[in-house]
Structure 1
Amino acid sequence: MKNDLRQRRETDGSSQADLAAAVDVTRQTINAIERDRYDPSIELAFKLAAHFDCRIEELFEPELDGAGRNQEG
């Protein structure tokens, strides 16, 4: 899932450790999300969106790989 977490965090002037503490996860979790190596739980996605005062859809962009599309045949 693509995200702009790193850009928002840097604009905010926060370190990965600062953000991790604010949403109650490890710095490694924030690093993994920023590097697109880990998709956050829905609960964590909500916490991150609340922290940055935005909607989840503004922070994360799912890569659907055709899911949700009508497929014929």
Structure 2
Amino acid sequence: MVGENLKRLRQEKGLTQEVLESRSGLSQQYLSGLERGKRNPTIITVYEISQALGVHYLELLRPLPDSN
């Protein structure tokens, strides 16, 4: 859920993983792992990413819309 929200928000803002890396201080490899669901972030990391994206941290934690 966090990874999918991260990817969606990053793309909506027209940011690359490299730009987000620079803004957040987290590696592009780590961000990629999050977006692919291979990593689980701590709440502190979620907050740091939200600050780098300029969104409230809850935007990264919202459930995805049901795709039925």
Q: Which has the higher contact order (CA 8 A, sep 6+)?
A: 2
Percent identity for Structure 1 against Structure 2: 21
**Given the two structures, how large is their TM-score scaled by the length of structure 2?**
0.74
Q: Which runs of 5+ in 2 are unaligned?
A: 64-68
Which structure has more helix as a fraction of its residues?
Answer: 2
Q: Which runs of 4+ in 1 moved over 2 A?
A: 51-57
The reply to whether residue 25 of structure 1 matches residue 31 of structure 2 is no
The count of residues paired between Structure 1 and Structure 2 equals 61
Matched AA of 2:55: C
Q: Distance in 2 between matches of 1:61 and 1:33?
A: 15
* Mapped partners of 1:25, 1:52: distance in 2: 13
- Partner of residue 50, structure 1: 51
Q: Any conservation in 1 of the 2:20–2:53 contact (CA below 8 Å)?
A: no
Normalising by structure 1, we get a TM-score of: 0.70
Looking at structure 2, the residues matched to 28 and 17 of structure 1 have their Cα atoms a distance apart, in angstroms, of: 9
Asked if structure 2 preserves the Cα contact closer than 8 Å seen for 1:23 and 1:44, the reply is: no
Q: Secondary structure at the match of 1:39?
A: coil
Q: Name the CA distance, whole Å, in 2 between partners of 1:11 and 1:55.
A: 15
